[in-house]
Structure 1
């Protein structure tokens, strides 16, 4: 099941820090939906987490204009937060 989160990185307070969209298990999403989600969330980057048969999840970073970028620090931290929560069975 695909889940979509807004995570405030670098803070413990809501609506502070550096916001990133996180899409958890994006494997089945077509490209037009991925770009639509990134546009709708409208953070500087939205990270899409993909299950990988090799173990480690794969991350893709998409801007609100639909451009994929190589990396994004705060979105990586946001993705790791969601993955940690999932491992702890709280997601």
Structure 2
């Protein structure tokens, strides 16, 4: 193990890049690509859930828009009936 800093770009094989972890007074190490893979999977899972939520919101907005159109049409119809009852 090198005791001096070096650039990650100098490493030919990414499998050899390891990260030192420190928790509860203990040290350990893990391959960087394994940690990144787990984070990538977590992000993918989050993106999938957000896409589902966005789809549901858009469906609800479409339904509300349709309901609003019906309400406005009913209001216009009612308004014309009231005007017809009043006469010219």
User: What TM-score results when the alignment is normalised by the length of structure 1?
Assistant: 0.23
Higher strand share: 1
Larger radius of gyration: 2
Higher normalized contact order (CA 8 Å, seq sep 6+, divided by chain length): 1
